[in-house]
Amino acid sequence: MAEDKYISGYCLIENNRVALNSQTVFEAPGLPFVDFAKQAYQHAETGYAKFFKMDNLSKLAFLAADMLLKKEVKEGEENNIALLFANKSSSLDTDVKHQESITDRENYFPSPAVFVYTLPNICMGEISIRHKLYTENSFFIFAQFNAGFFANYTDILMDTGKAEKVLCGWVEYYKDNYKAFMYLVSDSGTIAHTQQNIQKLYTGQ
């Protein structure tokens, strides 16, 4: 039931700022996303070299997820944390780059390193590998953030025993416009897992 679930932590990344549970933990105004992401990664002492090979959508999702999961995931234990993500632009930012690399026959240079990121759910794979999650995961595309969908789908996952916890995330990246909002739902915490609370946290209220 929805009243038995709580938002135990949440992370918001936008406008060159990383906030965890409403507290700014890193900020680098004026930088393009690539440089901001690199500095945020270094600040968090993430220690995952593959990060630098990821596309921007995956970097954004990875940073937000790592803020919430690095203290949550227990080494050597089964961590039944499902991933439920969505966005508006899918992997369009990388799709465009890949298309540009194959359109010009005079400068034909399609790269497998780019092609592999032409699906939005690849970012979930990166997070699952990092945190050794062998759990349910789904990525949806919506025209806008849909708090009701996240609330209902999470209830189903937890009520049916498919997940003990759910990491929900809106991860949008297109042409340097970006926003990541992630939150972890569990059976303990202080913020009730309701559509209204999810919407408030998404808007930074």
- The pLDDT score that the predictor gives to residue 1 is 46
CA distance 154 to 177: 27
- The pLDDT score that the predictor gives to residue 195 is 96
- The pLDDT score that the predictor gives to residue 74 is 82
- The pLDDT score that the predictor gives to residue 180 is 98
Buried b (16+ CB within 10 A) or exposed e, 31-59: eebeebbebbbeebebeeeebeebbbbbb
- The pLDDT score that the predictor gives to residue 2 is 46
Helices 147-159 & 195-202, crossing angle to 10 degrees? Answer: 130
Chunked into runs of 10 residues, the chain (205 residues) has average pLDDT values of: 81 97 96 96 92 95 96 85 96 85 77 81 93 95 97 97 97 95 95 96 87
CA distance 171 to 12: 10
